[in-house]
Amino acid sequence: MTDVEIGRGKSGRRAYSLSEIGIVPARRTRDPEEVSIAWQIDAYRFDLPLMASPMDSVVSPETAIAIGRLGGLAVLDVEGLWTRYEDPGPLLAEVTELDEQAATRRLQAMYAEPISEELIGRRIEEIAGAGVTTAASLSPQRTARYYKAVVDAGVDIFVIRGTTVSAEHVSGRAEPLNLKQFIYELDVPVVVGGCATYAAALHLMRTGAAGVLVGFGGGSGHTTVTVLGVAVPMATAIADVAAARRDYLDESGGRYVHVIADGSMTSSGDIAKALAIGADAVMVGSPLARAAEAPGRGYHWGSEANHTELPRGARLRVGTIGTLQQILHGPSTVPDGSMNLMGALRRTMATAGYSDLKEFQRVEVVVSDSGPPHGRR
């Protein structure tokens, strides 16, 4: 890809967001009912290629069970309120009453409560007891300290998630997490990220991860680009990481690492485009935060919002539009792509003539600098 000259001393690649991409229908179409959107990572098979983001406004033990029964995989935040408080209900209710000026300061105070290893075990066991696949997330900084409690509780999929995770972190203050050694010694599949470049993804794949997260997560409430200046448009990031997956498949002699798009997807069209560009599955937060069952009660925030020194997220009012069933499987009562996310994906694939997700990654796409057209679709 040709670099664009910013000035005499600097140039950069032209990168594309999901809003600039369009899916091109093929000459052959099929019935949506004949399309499979099933996804399998390691030994675990899901009816939907969807993970719920590890955010307290989205995933509680109750919603994790509900999402699992609806065919997806919900990831519990091990550093969230559910592992710090016996009953976080009153705190979640308080979040909805905070004014904008006080919200960040109060979130920081709430998340200053120590994490309880006993509560980690109880929450994961509660989800597992319902018969659904369990997944739990830790930041790289806290993985070494709490991973044993997570694994001992019987978690099925371990997620290491940060704004940016590298396989070669350098620190002069503490011994960084050795991802390759950690994953090798763990008996459960590990999903790790975020990353946004070919090189970073390839390094993460070489650690033995079962999947890598693409993007920086928390797209709706993220202020990372404002605070840190860090941003990579999602369409380009997915395409680059998908290329790393292809090359690592050859390099490793056939080991397939799943690419999971994380963040910057608020509608069913965004999800379809992420998969068309090369993602195997998506991780979403804000679309599910709008469910009647969501613990955020119409508000949405991520772990970046409560960082003790440099918050990089905001509490957002997203509202409530329907149940988890309606948001994932319909029926939809709105025309904006916020409900029946998986039904829309099936219809997109059927319109393009593809019967499963791996085939769908070969679909033709176009680029429009002006973004998607408006009006009838």
pLDDT digits (tens, 9 = 90+) for 171-186: 555 567 789 999 999 9
285 DSSP assignment: S
Span 123-140, mean pLDDT? 97
What residue has token string 């920081």?
108
What is the pLDDT at residue 175?
Answer: 62
Q: Is residue 374 part of a domain?
A: no
Q: Is residue 300 part of a domain?
A: yes
What is the pLDDT at residue 376?
Answer: 35
Residue pLDDT, tens place only, 325-375: 999 999 999 999 999 999 999 999 999 999 999 999 999 999 987 555 444
What is the pLDDT at residue 229?
Answer: 78
Provide the 3-class DSSP secondary structure of residue 344: helix
Q: Give 185-245 as a DSSP string.
A: H-SS-EEEEEE-SHHHHHHHHTTT-SEEEES-S-TTTB-HHHHT-----HHHHHHHHHHHH
What is the pLDDT at residue 310?
Answer: 75
Span 40-59, mean pLDDT? 97
Domain coverage including residue 309: 21-367
Could you give the CA distance from residue 288 to residue 338 in angstroms, rounded to a whole number?
9
Find the radius of gyration of the CA atoms of the chain.
20
Q: How confident is the model at residue 281 (pLDDT cuts 50, 70, 90)?
A: very high
Residue 63 has pLDDT above 70, yes or no: yes
Could you give the CA distance from residue 346 to residue 38 in angstroms, rounded to a whole number?
11
Q: Is residue 376 part of a domain?
A: no
Tokens representing 62 are: 């109750």
What is the pLDDT at residue 218?
Answer: 54
The residue type at 265: M
89 DSSP assignment: H
What is the pLDDT at residue 24?
Answer: 96
Q: How confident is the model at residue 26 (pLDDT cuts 50, 70, 90)?
A: confident
Q: Is residue 37 part of a domain?
A: yes
Span 52-75, mean pLDDT? 98
What is the pLDDT at residue 302?
Answer: 83
Residue pLDDT, tens place only, 244-256: 999 999 999 999 9
Residue pLDDT, tens place only, 288-323: 999 999 999 999 998 777 777 777 778 899 999 999
In sequence order, what are the beta bridge partners of 74? 52
Q: Is residue 184 part of a domain?
A: yes
Span 200-210, mean pLDDT? 95
pLDDT over 70 percentage in the chain: 92
Whether the ω angle into residue 322 lies within 30 degrees of 0, i.e. cis, is no
The residue type at 12: G
Q: Which residue did the predictor score with more confidence, 138 or 175?
A: 138
Residue 51 has pLDDT above 90, yes or no: yes
What is the pLDDT at residue 377?
Answer: 34
Span 79-97, mean pLDDT? 96
What is the pLDDT at residue 232?
Answer: 85
Contact 269, 344 (CB under 8 A): yes
Rounded (to 5) percent helix, strand, coil in the chain:
35, 15, 45
Could you give the CA distance from residue 332 to residue 321 in angstroms, rounded to a whole number?
10
Q: Give 183-198 as a DSSP string.
A: HHH-SS-EEEEEE-SH
Q: Is residue 12 part of a domain?
A: no
> Between helices 117-129 and 61-69, what is the axis angle to 10°?
30
Provide the 3-class DSSP secondary structure of residue 355: coil
What is the pLDDT at residue 375?
Answer: 40
Total of domains in the chain: 1
What is the pLDDT at residue 173?
Answer: 56
Whether the ω angle into residue 331 lies within 30 degrees of 0, i.e. cis, is yes
Q: The domain that contains 228 carries what CATH number?
A: 3.20.20.70
Task: Work out whether strand 281-284 and strand 258-262 pair parallel, antiparallel, or are unpaired.
Answer: parallel
Could you give the CA distance from residue 343 to residue 340 in angstroms, rounded to a whole number?
5
- Mean predicted lDDT score pLDDT of the chain: 91
Question: CA dihedral defined by 143, 148, 152, 156, rounded to 10 degrees?
Answer: 30
Contact 264, 234 (CB under 8 A): yes
What is the pLDDT at residue 320?
Answer: 97
Q: Is residue 6 part of a domain?
A: no
Tokens representing 101 are: 């000026």
Q: How confident is the model at residue 1 (pLDDT cuts 50, 70, 90)?
A: low
Containing 46, the helix (H) or strand (E) segment is strand 44-46
Q: Give 97-152 as a DSSP string.
A: T--HHHHHHHHHHHTTSPPPHHHHHHHHHHHHHTTS--EEEE-HHHHHHHHHHHHH
